[in-house]
Amino acid sequence: MIEKVHQLISKEEIALKVKEVATQINNDYKGKDVVFVGVLKGVFMFMSDLLKEINSTRVTTDFIGLSSYKGGTKSTGEVEITADLKDSIEGKHVIVLEDIVDTGLTLSFLLKNFEKRKPASVAICTLLEKPSNIEKYVKIDYKCFVIPDKFVLGYGLDYDERYRNLPYIGVMEFIEE
């Protein structure tokens, strides 16, 4: 099998959209202290580019590692925290940054878990949303792109841990040799 990647969203389109979403966040959170929580590890490029456009000097960052158990290619809904936040979010305004919302199971787990930690507010910001697979509805406050039901990679997202370094978002095609 030969792996071939087709570009779905260019780096220029990503840069424009990320700026647009950052402007919305800048407007919505004026004067508030915000903790940006990145869900590892696919979010790292998006988080880096988005945060460079956030104009408050009072924001902080934290990370959480989650792994969902998959039965075949489908998520089972069982999620485990593999690396927890470093600091408490009690009384804080939290913006969760995700690479992609697919079934919604990971985020709905995270939201329930965060509720117990008593933050002042929690909003969700995702680079990509694949609405065709949704199983658990989660309210997404900020999103960059809605994509069709295809496995995507690049710009932080992996295929078997590879391709995270691509500057664009692509779709994998497998060609028989």
Catalytic option among 49, 62, 102, 158 = 102
Minimum separation from the CB atom of position 60 to ligand 5GP (A): 22
Beta carbons within 8 Å of 163's beta carbon, 6+ residues apart:
5, 153, 154, 157, 170
> CA 174 to CA 152: how far, in whole Å?
13
102 is catalytic: yes
Interactions with ligand 5GP, residue window 105-164 (CB under 6 A): 105-106, 151-153, 157-158
Dump the DSSP string for 47-65: HHHHHTT---S--EEEEEE
Pick the closer one to ligand 5GP by CB: 96 or 103.
Answer: 103
Q: Which stretch binds ligand 5GP (CB under 6 A): 1-9, 25-33, 93-101, 114-122?
A: 93-101
Residues from 18 through 57 that contact ligand 5GP (CB under 6 A): 42
Which of residues 54 and 171 has its CB atom nearest to ligand 5GP in the complex?
Answer: 171
What is the DSSP code (8-state) at residue 45? H
